[in-house]
Every structure is written in structure tokens, then in C-alpha cells.
């Protein structure tokens, strides 16, 4: 067993060296219900009385107990006296505790400081290291005991809090679970074994500890449990005899209690055959061996994770670079190489030579292409040639262009004015496209995070300033060129363009549309005539049927009509009356009245026309301040407005196509390509100055500290790998 100590000491160095997340180091976790005897088990392993005791929940914070074996002639760090045992707390590193009663008081004090005195619990651990020649190197975690009912000022969900805390520690795959259960309860009711089974259902890393065996009823024993016959655990069960309350009150040494425990198992009739596998000392040795075997089993995965951490640490250390020398030539060469690399990376990002094979989104020049072909062209395609242009606007422009005369032909000036009005709308999205590309170039600059730039923050800030100034200088002439291109289109309306429909083409198009409208009208009238003929035939059939019926009754038939109207008829006496209406063609009453009035004139039944009043003044209406073309369009106006619309649509499409081609080309020439060509020279001109070397290449204290930490981490991880290789070659006997 002594051979294990040097190996465990070396492994302890590994545990101290590895602090990276994701590395689950082996440890022993002690769980059990309240007053199950966990504290007694730990004190028996340590051999000293140092844990708080009392009623209710005593352990209210996890206690990480590190046991470090020292030679028996070890001396205190602060004195030369031969003190064999002492303790140290992580939260009080400057203080060493030689009196174990003070260690108990410090645990209680640290607990109250975190959770108060109301018996609350906290998952924040207390770390205690005990140095002693009487212990094996172990790391034990003592957790608060599980309870059912809250007492006093405890939270109502205290049982859930403690259970979740226990589960958090034991669910780690590399944790060995020590499930403590009193001998005077049924195993089926053991909170510790039930919780252990949730995270370790096959019982591969759980060892059962049965306490208070000496307190069992006479005639009963725990042999069936201790021999793994009631509940099968791969690591088995170990029986423990806890110190009595009388021993604690009388402050009897634990070593005396351990001797009494050994005597109990060796002399008890039921346990003497298995006494060599019982007791606190056997438990400590078993845990020591289990931990070592567990570490040996976890070595491949542990070594793999340490190797990964070592690679990451070396990569991080490399990113910080070597410390700079004071020679200015070295700094000048380094600065020039950084500026050159930044310029090349900028060009590569635009030209698509700096992309990551695993990238899942567009980057650099591909995003600029997306701006041109998807955003800008897509916007122009959605623009209608007639946005903001109403028919009344076209009619007004035509009338304004004719002046006081009535034009025989559509004036060409109205077409040009309206076309220019629509072309100017292309300017705003074109200028916005320049801004989008500018922002994309700035994005590329911000994403060029080389290790050198991360190392020299001042240099990176200066580079961004110079590049931003350069891009702004290129943006101004780019926008000026865009404005000139739109002005060029406005300066001359080329009606001779081969793709322009022209007036003749527009007239032909209008004629074709008119012919189509006429055809539709003819078809509509034909359908109406057919419907009228069908109604006439139906009326004739009805008349024949009526004639036949009246003939049989001896009456004269009446002539059917679709629109009967009442009218005067003569009775046999020759007087005029208004009997029931006779079907026949009708004339509106107003028309009859007008006819009678026209014939009679100023007769007795007519009304005399009124002469104009002599008081009315013969004058014109006043001219309105604002005159607009309103009202329905005449046939002539319809023809003229449709002709202008056709011409505007044709010419606007030509200009839009030209713009979609010339604007991206101008942006690439004046902004993108120009910035690429000027980038390196501008950076060297602005930044490569000998008096600025120290400032630009000055490292921040944070970078210096990170380099030192990364260097220490690399050194420790390399040492950890060597130790793990030694443990891998160790043979268990």
C-alpha cells in the first residue's frame, strides 16, 4: 500500500495543474440521510475529530476535503516544531490551523457567513486541506444530509434543494459514490442508495457503507447486506462502528475508537469471518485503491482531454507571440509585415481567396455581389415607370406643352419632362448602394482579426482609422460618378435608341389596343342582340298562346309588350278615360308634355316662357387661382395620354437597364478596386514611422498577463502528461 502514496502524490499534481473546463477529475463523494453517520465515517478516515456536530442539518455546504500524506517527520511551515498534522482553508490561505477544534469552528463560521444561521443550505463548497502522515492522499466531498421535513426557519423545499445538490455532484461519471446508510433501517428506504441508483443504475461506481452496526437489535445482524446478498453493488458494502455519544462527550481519541471498532468485528460471532473487510481503516484503504483504479481506468479519456487542453494552450500562447526586443529594426520589420499581411488579407477577402471552407454564410466579395445583384437590381425591378404619375399629370403636361393653341399632334416636350421626372427616381437607390458597399468593406476590415492585431490593440485601432479615412475618400468620387451618370441620362433623351418604341410604334400599339377594344365591344353587342332576339321570340310565343286562349273564350287578343305603360283610351261613348293599361310601346310623360307645349305654344293649356330678368348683369366668371385638369377624359385626351404612357414605359426600361449595369461597375472601379490598390501604400505612409514603433507595437498589460498565464498552463499540462504516462505504466498488485 505504501507504493500507492508516491503515485497519488504525483496524480495530485495533475489535479492541481488541470483547471480547464470539461476535464472531470476522479473524486469520492459521500452522501446519506441526515444523522446517517457521514461525519463519523470521514472523521474515522482522517483520524481526527474536526467536523461540526449537533441536531438537525449540521453540514449545510459541501465540504471538499483534501487529504495530503506527509512524512512523519514533517514540520510546520511557520515554525520549526515537529507538528505532524494541520489544516488549511482555501478562503483563508494565509492562516494555518493546528488545533482541529479551530478547524471545526472555522467550518461553522464559513457556513454561517454564506447561508446564515437559519439552517439554510448552499451549493458553494468549503475547501479544506489536511496534511497528516496518517492519511492516504484522497479527495472526499461531504454533502449535506438528505432530509424529509423542514424544521425551524428552513425553506419549505429544503428536501428538494439538498437532493438536487447531492445529485449534481454524484452524476459526474468520474465520481465514486459512497452511500452511507444506518444499519437500523431497511435498505429499500435508504435515501442514499435510491439517489445513487438514479445516476448509477448498474451500481458500477457505488460503494455502500453500513453504519451503527453495533446498535442493531439483539438477535439481528447485517451479514446478508455486507456480503452483497440483499442488494448487489459491484464495489460491495463495508460495515462501520460509529463513536458513541459518550465517547464524543468525554473527548476520547478516535484512534481508541478505531481500536474498539476492530475488536468489535473480530470478536462478534456474526462478523468475525468477514472482519478483515470491515471497519474504517479498511474503508480508507478500499477507497484509496478504488480511486487509484478509477484513475487508471479514466486515464485514456483524461489524457485525451489534457492533450486537447495542451494544444489549445499552445495555440493561445502562439497567438500572443514572443516578447518584443528593443532593437528598432526588429520592430520595423514586424510592423511592415503586419501592414503587408493586412493589405493582402483585405484583397483576399474581396477576391474570395480568404474564405473558410466550412463557412455557412457569404463573406467578403460574395456579399458585395449579393448587394449588386439581389438588393440593388431587385429594388430597380420593383420600380414602376408610372410610380407617382397619374393620368391627370400626363394630361396637364400635354396641355401645358401646347400653350394657348390646340395642338394637332402630341407635343414631344411633355414626353421629355415626364420621362426625366421618372428617371431622377433612380438616383436615391443608386447612392444607397454605394453606402451599402462601403459598410460591407468596413465589415471586412473589422473581421480581419489576425493574431498580430489582437496582440497590438493600438496598432489595430490606428489601422482601422487609416482604412476608414481611405474608404471615405473613395466614397466621395464614387457618389459623384453616380450622380453624373444619372445627369447624363437626364441631359439627353435619346428617342433614336434602337430599343425605343418610338411614336410610330406607340401609335401602332394604340391602334392594336383600339382594335381589340372594338372587337370586345362588338362581341358584347352581339351577345346583347342575341339576348334581345330571344326575349322577342319568347314574347311572340306568349302572344300566340294568349290568342289561342282568347279565341276559345271569344275575346280579342291583346298585343304583348315588354314595357307596358299606362295611357289614355277611348270608351264606347267617345270620352277619354284611364282604364287598365293596354300593353304596347310607351312614351315618357315628360316627352308628351314637351311635345304638347311645343305645339300649343302660348295657348290656353301652355305656359308662357319667362323673359330674362332685366336686372341680371352680363359678365364672365372670375378666373380661379389654381387651375387643374379635372373631369373625364375625352377621346382625344385618352389617345394622347396612352401614347405618352407607352413612350415613358419604353424609355424608362432602357434607362433602368443601363443603370443596372453602369452603377455596379462605377462602384467597383471608384470604391472597391481603388481601395485595394491604395491600401498598402496608404498604411505604410501613415503608420510606418520610426518614432511610432514603440507606441504602435506596445503590448497592453492584459496581453502580457495572458501570455504568462498561457505559458504557465502549457508548462503544467506538459508535466501532467508526463505524470499520467508514469501512472499508465504502474502495475496494480
Same domain assignment for residues 694 and 707: no
Which SS3 state, helix, strand or coil, does residue 569 take? strand
509 φ, ψ (degrees, to nearest 5): -65, -40
Core vs surface per residue 693-703: b (16+ CB within 10 A) or e: beebbebeeeb
Same domain assignment for residues 235 and 272: yes
Q: Which pairing describes strands 175-182 and 138-142: parallel, antiparallel, or unpaired?
A: unpaired
CB 69, CB 133: distance < 8 Å = yes
| pLDDT value at residue 273 | 92
Same domain assignment for residues 291 and 342: no
Same domain assignment for residues 203 and 129: yes
Residue 691's contacts (CB-CB under 8 Å, 6 or more residues apart) are none
161 burial level (CB within 10 Å; 0-12, 13-18, 19+)? middle
Residues constituting the chain: 733
Distance (Å, rounded) from C-alpha 163 to C-alpha 630? Answer: 85
Same domain assignment for residues 42 and 161: yes
Q: For residue 650, give Cα distances in angstroms to 497, 503, 504.
A: 10, 11, 13
Please give the DSSP secondary-structure letter assigned to residue 625.
S
Distance (Å, rounded) from C-alpha 127 to C-alpha 48? Answer: 17
| pLDDT value at residue 714 | 87
176 φ, ψ (degrees, to nearest 5): -90, 125
28 φ, ψ (degrees, to nearest 5): -110, 125
User: Which H or E element spans position 231?
Assistant: none
CB 392, CB 629: distance < 8 Å = yes
Same domain assignment for residues 489 and 444: yes
Which SS3 state, helix, strand or coil, does residue 97 take? strand
Helix (H) and strand (E) counts for the chain? 23, 11
Please give the tally of structural domains in the chain: 3
**Backbone angle region of 193, left / alpha / beta, with phi > 0 → left and psi within -120 to 50 → alpha:** alpha
Q: Which pairing describes strands 63-69 and 126-132: parallel, antiparallel, or unpaired?
A: parallel
User: Which H or E element spans position 667?
Assistant: helix 635-667
Distance (Å, rounded) from C-alpha 125 to C-alpha 111? Answer: 9
Nearest to 61 by CA among 108, 116, 124, 112: 124
Place of cell 452496526: 213
Residue 508 within any structural domain of the chain: no
Distance (Å, rounded) from C-alpha 31 to C-alpha 631? Answer: 94
CB 63, CB 262: distance < 8 Å = no
Q: Which residues of the chain, if any, have pLDDT below 70?
A: 1-25, 54-57, 73-83, 118-119, 152, 323-329, 355-358, 399, 401-410, 451, 502-515, 517-519, 548, 551-617, 623, 627-631, 634, 726-733
The alpha carbon of residue 152 and the mean position of all alpha carbons in its chain are separated, in whole angstroms, by 45
Q: Which pairing describes strands 27-32 and 175-182: parallel, antiparallel, or unpaired?
A: parallel
Residue 118's contacts (CB-CB under 8 Å, 6 or more residues apart) are 152, 153, 154
Alpha helix segments (H runs only) across 229-279: 245-249, 254-267
CB 177, CB 38: distance < 8 Å = no
Residue 5 within any structural domain of the chain: no
Distance (Å, rounded) from C-alpha 601 to C-alpha 192? Answer: 125
Same domain assignment for residues 248 and 352: no
Distance (Å, rounded) from C-alpha 263 to C-alpha 267? Answer: 6
Which residues form the domain of 733?
A: 701-733
Helix/strand/coil percent split, the chain, to 5: 55, 10, 35
Distance (Å, rounded) from C-alpha 145 to C-alpha 40? Answer: 13
CATH code of 298's domain: 3.40.50.300
Same domain assignment for residues 107 and 224: yes
Core vs surface per residue 597-612: b (16+ CB within 10 A) or e: eeeeeeeeeeeeeeee
Same domain assignment for residues 260 and 377: no
Residue 580 within any structural domain of the chain: no
Same domain assignment for residues 366 and 465: yes
Pull the grid cell for residue 474: 473613395
Pull the grid cell for residue 566: 299606362
CATH code of 386's domain: 1.20.120.1240
CB 313, CB 306: distance < 8 Å = no
CB atoms closer than 10 angstroms to residue 468? 14
Query: Could you tell me which residues are beta bridge partners of residue 63?
Result: 126, 142
Nearest to 222 by CA among 266, 274, 267: 274
Same domain assignment for residues 417 and 404: yes
Residue 364's contacts (CB-CB under 8 Å, 6 or more residues apart) are 349, 350, 351, 352, 354, 355, 444
Pull the grid cell for residue 177: 459514490
Same domain assignment for residues 244 and 147: yes
Amino acid at each position: 500500500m505504501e507504493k500507492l502514496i508516491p503515485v497519488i502524490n504525483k496524480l495530485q499534481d495533475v489535479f492541481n495543474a488541470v483547471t480547464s473546463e470539461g476535464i472531470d477529475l476522479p473524486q469520492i463523494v459521500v452522501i446519506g440521510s441526515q444523522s446517517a453517520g457521514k461525519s463519523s465515517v470521514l472523521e474515522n478516515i482522517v483520524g481526527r475529530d474536526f467536523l461540526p456536530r449537533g441536531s438537525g442539518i449540521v453540514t449545510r455546504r459541501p465540504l471538499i476535503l483534501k487529504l495530503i500524506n506527509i512524512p512523519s517527520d514533517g514540520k510546520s511551515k511557520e515554525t520549526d516544531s515537529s507538528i505532524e498534522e494541520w489544516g488549511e482553508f482555501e478562503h483563508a490561505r494565509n492562516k494555518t490551523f493546528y488545533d482541529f477544534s479551530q478547524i471545526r469552528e472555522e467550518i461553522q463560521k464559513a457556513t454561517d457567513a454564506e447561508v446564515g444561521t437559519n439552517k439554510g443550505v448552499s451549493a458553494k463548497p468549503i475547501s479544506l486541506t489536511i496534511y497528516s502522515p496518517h492519511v492516504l492522499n484522497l479527495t472526499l466531498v461531504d454533502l449535506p444530509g438528505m432530509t424529509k421535513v423542514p424544521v425551524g426557519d428552513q425553506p419549505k423545499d429544503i428536501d428538494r434543494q439538498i437532493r438536487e445538490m447531492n445529485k449534481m455532484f454524484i452524476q459526474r461519471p468520474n465520481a465514486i459514490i459512497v452511500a452511507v446508510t444506518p444499519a437500523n433501517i431497511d435498505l429499500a428506504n435508504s435515501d442514499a442508495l435510491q439517489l445513487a441508483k438514479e445516476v448509477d443504475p448498474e451500481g458500477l461506481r457505488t460503494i455502500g457503507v453500513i453504519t451503527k452496526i453495533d446498535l442493531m437489535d439483539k438477535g439481528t445482524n447485517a451479514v446478508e447486506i455486507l456480503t452483497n446478498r440483499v442488494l448487489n453493488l459491484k464495489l460491495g458494502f463495508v460495515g462501520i462502528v460509529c463513536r458513541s455519544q459518550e465517547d464524543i462527550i468525554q473527548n476520547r481519541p478516535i484512534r481508541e475508537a478505531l481500536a474498539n471498532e476492530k475488536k468489535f468485528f473480530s470478536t462478534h460471532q456474526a462478523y468475525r469471518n468477514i472482519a478483515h473487510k470491515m471497519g474504517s481503516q479498511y474503508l480508507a484503504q478500499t477507497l484509496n485503491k478504488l480511486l487509484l483504479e478509477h484513475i487508471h481506468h479514466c486515464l485514456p479519456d483524461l489524457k485525451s482531454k489534457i492533450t486537447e487542453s495542451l494544444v489549445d494552450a499552445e495555440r493561445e500562447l502562439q497567438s500572443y507571440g514572443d516578447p518584443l526586443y528593443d532593437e528598432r529594426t526588429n520592430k520595423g520589420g514586424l510592423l511592415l509585415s503586419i501592414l503587408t499581411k493586412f493589405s493582402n488579407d483585405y484583397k483576399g477577402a474581396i477576391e474570395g481567396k480568404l474564405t473558410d471552407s466550412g463557412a455557412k454564410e457569404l463573406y467578403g466579395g460574395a456579399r458585395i455581389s449579393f448587394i449588386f445583384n439581389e438588393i440593388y437590381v431587385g429594388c430597380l425591378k420593383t420600380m414602376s415607370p408610372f410610380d407617382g404619375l397619374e393620368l391627370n399629370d400626363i394630361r396637364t403636361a400635354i396641355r401645358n406643352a401646347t400653350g394657348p393653341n390646340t395642338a394637332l399632334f402630341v407635343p414631344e416636350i411633355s414626353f421629355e419632362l415626364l420621362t426625366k421626372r421618372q428617371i431622377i427616381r433612380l438616383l436615391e437607390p443608386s447612392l444607397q448602394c454605394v453606402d451599402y458597399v462601403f459598410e460591407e468593406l468596413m465589415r471586412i476590415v473589422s473581421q480581419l482579426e489576425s493574431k498580430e492585431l489582437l496582440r497590438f490593440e493600438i496598432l489595430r485601432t490606428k489601422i482601422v482609422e487609416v482604412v476608414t479615412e481611405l474608404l471615405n475618400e473613395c466614397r466621395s468620387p464614387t457618389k459623384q460618378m453616380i450622380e453624373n451618370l444619372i445627369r447624363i441620362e437626364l441631359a439627353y433623351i435619346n428617342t433614336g435608341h434602337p430599343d425605343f418604341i418610338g411614336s410610330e410604334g406607340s401609335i401602332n400599339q394604340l391602334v392594336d389596343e383600339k382594335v381589340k377594344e372594338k372587337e370586345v365591344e362588338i362581341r358584347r353587342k352581339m351577345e346583347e342582340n342575341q339576348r334581345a332576339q330571344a326575349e322577342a321570340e319568347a314574347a311572340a310565343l306568349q302572344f300566340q298562346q294568349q290568342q289561342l286562349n282568347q279565341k276559345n273564350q271569344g275575346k280579342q287578343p291583346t298585343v304583348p309588350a315588354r314595357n307596358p305603360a299606362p295611357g289614355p283610351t277611348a270608351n264606347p261613348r267617345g270620352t277619354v278615360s284611364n282604364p287598365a293599361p293596354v300593353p304596347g310601346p310607351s312614351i315618357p310623360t315628360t316627352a308628351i308634355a314637351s311635345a304638347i307645349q311645343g305645339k300649343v305654344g302660348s295657348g290656353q293649356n301652355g305656359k308662357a316662357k319667362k323673359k330674362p330678368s332685366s336686372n341680371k348683369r352680363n359678365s364672365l366668371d372670375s378666373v380661379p387661382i389654381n387651375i387643374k385638369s379635372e373631369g373625364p377624359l375625352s377621346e382625344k385626351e385618352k389617345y394622347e395620354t396612352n401614347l405618352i404612357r407607352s413612350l415613358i414605359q419604353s424609355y424608362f426600361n432602357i434607362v433602368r437597364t443601363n443603370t443596372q449595369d453602369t452603377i455596379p461597375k462605377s462602384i467597383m472601379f471608384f470604391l472597391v478596386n481603388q481601395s485595394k490598390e491604395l491600401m498598402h501604400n496608404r498604411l505604410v505612409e501613415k503608420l510606418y514611422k520610426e518614432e511610432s514603433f514603440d507606441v504602435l507595437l506596445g503590448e497592453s498589460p492584459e496581453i502580457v498577463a495572458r501570455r504568462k498565464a498561457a505559458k504557465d498552463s502549457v508548462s503544467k499540462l506538459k508535466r501532467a502528461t508526463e505524470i499520467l504516462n508514469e501512472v499508465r505504466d504502474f502495475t496494480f498488485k
